[in-house]
Chain A
């Protein structure tokens, strides 16, 4: 796991009087380095297991099993027969899993494992705007926008640490949240916070806001930086806590929430962005992903930042588009995982390099809560900060997918096929082929959007 971040153009929102004053102070450039919370492989929440009962199980049998299995408290999933079981003190997770798994009514039981964000570990200041978004240049964004800017009827659910999308004071904790300054007219669908169990998925870290901004930060508003599918809507779903860590149960709940949301009988969420991962497997998450795919939603996930030859879960699922990271040179970023499950590449950056010689590190720059203030429990100060990681690459693919859905692509299989067929092959991969280092290559949404003629192939 890796976070490399750059604090740039520190946006000092004037707290109480912000509404009537210019939102920005003169640029303050500072470098901040911090280490991300590490989650070791196979880590799980102590005292918690996920138990899924068979559909035919009688309620009284379920209750009996939960009690005899050592449940101190249970939380029933919105999806139905799935339970998060909080165990009696003294009952180990391993013993509980074994006990539940042996019960005939139980479909499966597993530890409530942990996923974590897939971003870099440091950030460097930046006080410049669109011209420093080499990542968008790499994707031929201007041509892409000439074809499609996105539609608000298409939403990307960002399952992450939350999004700074509203001005809100939490009545329980007193924490004050503010809407990030460069959202403009970006549409937000009602989301949910599965970490704190409320309907206000604000960002008490920074990762989720950065990811969401890559998708749909306000663009062409003479402020800040651009988002790649800025005409599309965002659904903020908080599944990671302030340390960037979340549980399998919360992740599955978030997926089910996103795909269950309807507006006028229509499901606007067409893409789920998972800039997170783990080296462990979860049946709970896998089944939630399967439900999402069955509902016509494209699930995009980060390949992971260990530099290993295997892709993180859930990106490793065949139903999920696994995204690796490129640097400005279109070379695989050193941290980006590889392997047979890798599908596509997108700009994820490398904050240690400045290959475009613009005087700024080649991070991905977006708006987000200023980490210096977040560390003090202040969520109302923002910066245009640079991060690198497969977390940053993933929302580029999610945004590209949202643009294709906006153009009229009918289903996730079509979107995925179009992105893969039109990708720029890298690392010596043959036309139409792939390799384990770059998958199918760098997405070229401007080539995917035109689709096919009767005899005219993909635009190259």
Chain B
């Protein structure tokens, strides 16, 4: 997914949302949860674990009673150290040089909300994302930095609780961001190129309009 394609899809979706059959609902969401990286071997080597806390926010617009589009951003950052791995099966050598990674997906989703207007509203969706990747490290006074931006796809499912202004919810999603890593470093050794992963977040939303 190129940035241009992503913007085109976003424009189409927003255009569709702009002509609702009935007045829509807008919700502003805050999200916090856990992100588990698909590149698990690489993450384990560098961070000692495969994931960590992620947080972000989104704006959702529901239209035609049950459909919605949402756009948002999350961020995930984790500190580790530079390592050396000779082969996928060999021991990980931890070298002690600090390393930080930040992954920032900007996503646009479209989905369907079941039982809209009820107390419990399950929903599903699919979407696309642009994923900013930044890796920095320092070795004896010399800094190393690498940034990239890659597109990806995701699928999600969630449950929202509440009918008034304040809503709570939980959402699980899986994103795939192919060919985002794996050109160097331990991700190359392990043959892992997917920067996506599994995310579960809790949500607090303020909803306006609708009915």
A-to-B contact residues, CB < 8 Å: 146-147, 407-411, 413-414, 416-418, 449-459
Cβ of A452 and Cβ of B90 under 8 Å apart?
no
Q: Does B62 contact A (CB under 8 A)?
A: no
Q: How far is the CB of A457 from chain B (nearest CB, A)?
A: 3
Cβ of B84 and Cβ of A455 under 8 Å apart?
no
Cβ of A452 and Cβ of B84 under 8 Å apart?
yes
Cβ of A455 and Cβ of B86 under 8 Å apart?
no
In the complex, what residues of B have CB within 8 A of residue A417's CB? 84, 86-87, 90
Supposing A452-B185, A452-B189, A455-B146 touch, asked if A408 and B94 sit within 8 A by C-beta, the answer is yes
Cβ of A449 and Cβ of B181 under 8 Å apart?
no
| Closest 10 pairs (CB-CB, A-B) | A457-B184, A417-B86, A451-B84, A410-B93, A455-B181, A450-B139, A147-B140, A410-B91, A451-B95, A409-B93
In the complex, what residues of B have CB within 8 A of residue A449's CB? 95, 139
Which residue among B82, B93, B146, B182 has the maximum number of chain A CB atoms within 10 Å of its CB?
A: B93
A-contacting residues, B177-196, CB 8 Å: 181-189
Cβ of B46 and Cβ of A453 under 8 Å apart?
yes
In the complex, what residues of B have CB within 8 A of residue A450's CB? 82, 95, 97, 137, 139, 144
Cβ of A413 and Cβ of B86 under 8 Å apart?
yes
In the complex, what residues of A have CB within 8 A of residue B92's CB? 410
Bound form: Cα–Cα A456–B80 in Å: 13
For the residues of A in contact with B, the DSSP-based class is: loop
Bound form: Cα–Cα A178–B184 in Å: 51
Cβ of B186 and Cβ of A453 under 8 Å apart?
yes
Q: How far is the CB of B80 from chain A (nearest CB, A)?
A: 8
Bound form: Cα–Cα A453–B45 in Å: 9
Q: How many A-B residue pairs have CB under 8 A?
A: 106
Supposing A451-B84, A454-B46 touch, asked if A146 and B140 sit within 8 A by C-beta, the answer is yes
Contact of B93 among A146, A408, A453 (CB under 8 A): A408
Bound form: Cα–Cα A459–B181 in Å: 17
Cβ of A414 and Cβ of B82 under 8 Å apart?
no
In the complex, what residues of B have CB within 8 A of residue A459's CB? 139, 144
Q: How far is the CB of B77 from chain A (nearest CB, A)?
A: 12
Supposing A414-B84, A452-B185 touch, asked if A407 and B96 sit within 8 A by C-beta, the answer is yes
In the complex, what residues of A have CB within 8 A of residue B186's CB? 452-454
Residue of B nearest to A421 (CB): B86
Residue of A nearest to B83 (CB): A451
Bound form: Cα–Cα A414–B146 in Å: 24
Bound form: Cα–Cα A411–B91 in Å: 8
Cβ of A452 and Cβ of B133 under 8 Å apart?
no
7 A-B residue pairs with CB within 8 Å: A147-B139, A147-B140, A414-B91, A450-B95, A454-B99, A455-B185, A456-B82
For the residues of B in contact with A, the DSSP-based class is: mixed
In the complex, what residues of B have CB within 8 A of residue A418's CB? 84, 86
Residue of A nearest to B180 (CB): A455
In the complex, what residues of A have CB within 8 A of residue B133's CB? 455
| Tally of contact residues, B, Cβ under 8 A | 40
In the complex, what residues of A have CB within 8 A of residue B135's CB? 453-456
Supposing A408-B94, A409-B93 touch, asked if A452 and B82 sit within 8 A by C-beta, the answer is yes
Which residue among A417, A450, A458 has the maximum number of chain B CB atoms within 10 Å of its CB?
A: A450
**Chain B 39-53 against A: per-residue CB contact (8 Å), 1 yes, 0 no?**
100110110000000
Residue of B nearest to A458 (CB): B184
Q: Does B28 contact A (CB under 8 A)?
A: no
Contact of A453 among B86, B87, B96, B144 (CB under 8 A): B144
Q: How far is the CB of A446 from chain B (nearest CB, A)?
A: 9
Q: How far is the CB of A371 from chain B (nearest CB, A)?
A: 39
Cβ of B85 and Cβ of A452 under 8 Å apart?
yes
In the complex, what residues of B have CB within 8 A of residue A410's CB? 91-94
In the complex, what residues of A have CB within 8 A of residue B181's CB? 454-455
Q: Does B141 contact A (CB under 8 A)?
A: yes
Q: Does B101 contact A (CB under 8 A)?
A: yes
Cβ of A455 and Cβ of B83 under 8 Å apart?
no
Cβ of A411 and Cβ of B90 under 8 Å apart?
yes
A-contacting residues, B76-113, CB 8 Å: 80, 82-87, 90-97, 99, 101
A453-B146, A459-B139 given; name 12 further pairs at CB < 8 Å.
Answer: A147-B139, A413-B90, A450-B139, A451-B83, A451-B97, A453-B99, A453-B144, A454-B99, A455-B135, A455-B188, A457-B184, A457-B188
Bound form: Cα–Cα A453–B95 in Å: 10
Residue of A nearest to B96 (CB): A408
Q: How far is the CB of B131 from chain A (nearest CB, A)?
A: 13
Bound form: Cα–Cα A400–B58 in Å: 52
Supposing A408-B94, A414-B91 touch, asked if A146 and B82 sit within 8 A by C-beta, the answer is no
Q: How far is the CB of B42 from chain A (nearest CB, A)?
A: 5
A-contacting residues, B108-147, CB 8 Å: 133, 135, 137, 139-141, 144, 146
In the complex, what residues of A have CB within 8 A of residue B139's CB? 147, 449-450, 459
Residue of B nearest to A413 (CB): B86
Q: How far is the CB of A407 from chain B (nearest CB, A)?
A: 5
Cβ of A409 and Cβ of B95 under 8 Å apart?
yes
Bound form: Cα–Cα A329–B45 in Å: 39
Residue of A nearest to B184 (CB): A457
Bound form: Cα–Cα A414–B96 in Å: 16
Residue of A nearest to B137 (CB): A453
In the complex, what residues of A have CB within 8 A of residue B99's CB? 453-454
